[in-house]
Amino acid sequence: MKSLFPAVSVLALVLAGPAIAATEHDSHHQAGSSASSVKAAPSSEGTVKKIDKAAGKITIKHGPLANLGMPPMTMAFVVGDPAMLEQVKAGEKVSFTADKVGDALTITTIEAAR
């Protein structure tokens, strides 16, 4: 019986190996998916100064944009979707998110402030 124990132990490890590896592999992907999730840019507040539908741009006087490391200023942004330019008007206070898309600072969401 003594000589059978090492063989059974080795066989058990060989058979369990793929199951252990699969479990470790799955947990790696679960941890990676939450860690690599794209985080939404924080919302910022501002006032619409100008809308240029032809150029697809909106000028906003805004507070600090923490995710972009920008201080308060007035600047023109490209909009991610031209329909956004229909949602707001000059002089209106807005809540928006801006992010760098390619080489352009882009408004990714915008709505009238409540």
14-37 pLDDT, tens digit each = 555 555 555 454 544 444 444 444
Compare 42 and 8 and report the one with higher pLDDT. 42
Compare 42 and 74 and report the one with higher pLDDT. 74
Classify 109 as helix, strand or coil.
strand
44-100 pLDDT, tens digit each = 999 999 999 999 999 999 999 999 999 999 999 999 999 999 999 999 999 999 999
